[in-house]
Structure 1
Amino acid sequence: MLSRVAERMFWIGRYMERVESTALLLRVNTNLALDLPNSKHVWASLIDITGDKDNFHETYQLENEQNVVKFLTQGETSSIRTALKNARENARTSREIMPREAWEKINKLHHFVENNLKKPLKREGRDAFLGEVIGRCHEFTGYLTGCMSVTQAFNFMKLGRKLERADMTTRILDIGCYNLNNPKHTELVDYERLLWTSLLMSVSGYQMYRQHVDDHVNGEDVADFLLRDEHFPRSVDFCLDEVSECCEQLPLSDEPQRATNLAQRRIKNSNVIDLFSSGELHWFIDEVQLDLARIHHQVETTWFTYRNDPAA
């Protein structure tokens, strides 16, 4: 497979996962804001999760509901619209690789989003819009899983999706821990269980947590579940196992596999409960995020070097 084609498939996976994750974050936190006496931390946290605060403040002064929703649905960098536009462009130039119906699903979702964002996305219609986006992303992923041959192209797309998912889980968990442990946010302590529940819902993990961990939602168990659970599809450990499996199916994978193994060992050998109790979880998550960045770097340098590839 040409490097440029592999790269496009990888980014389709990352961007479509980003569309779904952003829509889910907005949907869950819109509902959370209704249950809190002061929702300013909710909206500020969403910008922190994206890591795009500088770009946000180039356009907006206040981190309020109206501005954050517009930024995350229509902005030029970290929005649903931008991620979907990029996914669609990569899919358009890869139509000979993907099933035709998969391209059609991305294209139809693109037009749906564009048509619905022609006017401001007010709260009363937001849940339905975001639910439709999430559902169509599930359709796309499910269709590929059921109908696309498991070739190198499929594995590159899956690799991108799993890396993006692991990264988003660490970001959501990190910001959640920060908000609840920040002395400036003492008013949130009374809503601790609600906030941890909302965090689980932001990764579609609430029911699985209750089934496999405990009916009682608490921070240390949530952190351990999202980082180390071997069975939940959005835990970092599960995603890294999937990344490793993808690497095994691809040629010249020694360096990406080595970087992935390092991240896996860090997660599997950790005691998240102790890290949470000692206040060191933030620093641990920082290290995990650096591990994920190293994996991405190795993926790029190993497989996406088409500028120097005479066959490209």
Structure 2
Amino acid sequence: MLSRVAHNIYWMTRQIERAEDTARLINVNANLLLDLPRNTTFGWLPLIFIVGAEKLFFEKDLNRLADETNVVKFLISDSGHPSSIISSLAAARENLRTTRDTVPQEAWEQINSLYIYARDHVPSRRGRFEFLRRVIRGSQQIGGLLAGAMSRTAAYDFVRLGHYLERADMTTRILDVRSANLLSRAGQTQTQTQIQTQTQTQTQTQTAATENGEQDPFESIQWMSVLKSLSAYQAYRQQVRVRVSGPDVLKFLLQDEYFPRAVVFCLRQLEICLKKLPRNDASLEALSALRQKLNAAAVPELAHEGLHEFIDEVQMGFGELHNQIAAAYFAH
């Protein structure tokens, strides 16, 4: 197949997965803030770091307030943010528009209608939940149409490559920011100072609990938020069967071989796809290095120290894997 077609299909599914995951994050964060006490200042800024857009968010104004209104608008409808929900859907639609004959007609119609709906129904606060629910459901319908009606040719392998690489990347981003308290550790720049201010009350509470030898009273709520961000709470309770705790959640989301949003599961699906494609040596080598790193990780220890550095290495591995896929299949 043409490299242009492979490139467009790969990025189309990455962008749809990105739109769905962003919608999930916004919904879960809103529910988390309702669960936490009023004097716990968790805030909306962590979402900007999860999607890796902190520089873009503060580009025009370093003192820009990272409140609910600004962050939600940035993540849903900001045309200057290429990973906002509407920008992602627009890019997915454009990538597929010139390669429509490679996917079922119903999938193209669903992508087109989902984009038009999102573009024409930018929500107020009151209508936000229904809007995000429609985006999530629409994205899942697209995945279902592709899985249920697309021939298992090389084109379908590129569909899955984009889908699972984006999903694995988002899982590690959520773990990095949500569970490692990365934001409260940063403090050198003006932007990071704002983060520290927003999380000050939470950090003081955690420090006091640690000094007294007690568990942070809000820890379980936050780990549950991590699971719910990935629709993993029910599967975790069914398979792990213990209370929600940091080491167990990390092990489940990084190393579980059966949960579809766990990183190791995603890497296994990527391996299956790559083995069907030609010129796969460099890509499989990069993938093998990632799998070895994840399988060898001492996850319980990472829950207390070193998680941010470990996930940095994993995300660099994702970048290398993407580069090898692009070099092998998109540069010709």
| TM class by smaller structure | over 0.9
Q: For residue 43 of structure 1, what is the aligned residue in structure 2? A: 44
1:179-207 CA deviation, whole Å, 9 max, x = no partner?
28947523364311111101100000000
What residue identity is the alignment partner of 1:14?
Answer: R
Matched, 1:72 2:98: no
Aligned-pair RMSD on alpha carbons?
1.6
Superposition pairs of residues 1-312 of structure 1, within 5 angstroms: 1-36=1-36, 37-38=38-39, 40-59=41-60, 61-75=64-78, 76-77=80-81, 78-117=83-122, 121-179=123-181, 182=184, 184=200, 185-187=203-205, 189-277=216-304, 279-306=305-332
Range moving further from structure 2, 136-145 or 279-288 = 279-288
What residue identity is the alignment partner of 1:67?
Answer: N
Q: Distance in 2 between matches of 1:105 and 1:250?
A: 28
Q: Give the deviation of 1:38 after TM superposition.
A: 5.0
Maintained 8 Å contact 1:40/1:64:
no
Tell me the TM-score normalised to structure 2 length: 0.88
Secondary structure of the equivalent of 2:244? coil
Q: Distance in 1 between matches of 2:91 and 2:60?
A: 21
Q: For residue 309 of structure 1, what is the aligned residue in structure 2? A: none
1:221-267 CA deviation, whole Å, 9 max, x = no partner?
11111100010100000000011111011111111111001101111
What residue identity is the alignment partner of 1:286?
Answer: D
1:115-160 CA deviation, whole Å, 9 max, x = no partner?
111xxx3332111110111011110001110110111111101101
Q: Give the deviation of 1:74 after TM superposition.
A: 0.9
Q: Give the deviation of 1:18 after TM superposition.
A: 0.3
1:84-139 CA deviation, whole Å, 9 max, x = no partner?
0100001111111111111000000001101111xxx3332111110111011110
Tell me the TM-score normalised to structure 1 length: 0.93
What residue identity is the alignment partner of 1:300?
Answer: A
Q: Which runs of 5+ in 1 are unaligned?
A: 307-312
Secondary structure of the equivalent of 1:42? coil
Q: Distance in 2 between matches of 1:22 and 1:42?
A: 16
Q: Distance in 2 between matches of 1:250 and 1:180?
A: 38
Q: Distance in 2 between matches of 1:104 and 1:48?
A: 33
Range moving further from structure 2, 154-163 or 188-197 = 188-197
Q: Distance in 1 between matches of 2:125 and 2:32?
A: 13
**Percentage identity across aligned positions?**
44
